Structure 1
């Protein structure tokens, strides 16, 4: 399911992640989980390394359910890892674009009885 720049994980997508986790090699199992902000990027990397056709089919299905730009990244071998992050709110996982680092705000002025205090 795709909404704007974020991906909402629905029940079929969660089931696919579970199935993918069962089939991936042992060194990748700890990273394949919904709490991983880099999950879909990791899936693309594992797809490129894997020779298991069933695993590849599951990964293609997950990326197609995630919506654009994920299927295109799989086909174009694009590895821009730092563009998205997973945010979980009340049990709903969403994939949203990362924003630039926040700029430090100027030191706040404290005013006491009409005068600026340091």
Structure 2
């Protein structure tokens, strides 16, 4: 492998360690569906908007957010708006992305040198 390829892989691995995002279509009952989310919880909001169809918003809630304290883990539908809200927070899968990427980076460096 060339040095450019190695640097490119390292940049990609390091870039992903600090991002906060969730996987589309997350099933909060599975053990590692929110593994790419850093923070206290992974929130998925699905809205049916006239003219636009279904829109999905995915975000990670920071540790100082209190929404995960007042809402149980899992999915629910708001009766007034029809929005579907999914919250997963009860396990450590919301805080594993930097740990996983660090392990991959160290393994890659070990194999290369």
TM range (shorter): under 0.3
TM-score normalised over the length of structure 1: 0.21
- Computing the radius of gyration over CA atoms, which structure comes out larger, 1 or 2? 1
**Which structure shows the higher strand fraction?**
2
Decide which structure has greater helix share. 1
Tell me the TM-score normalized by structure 2: 0.21
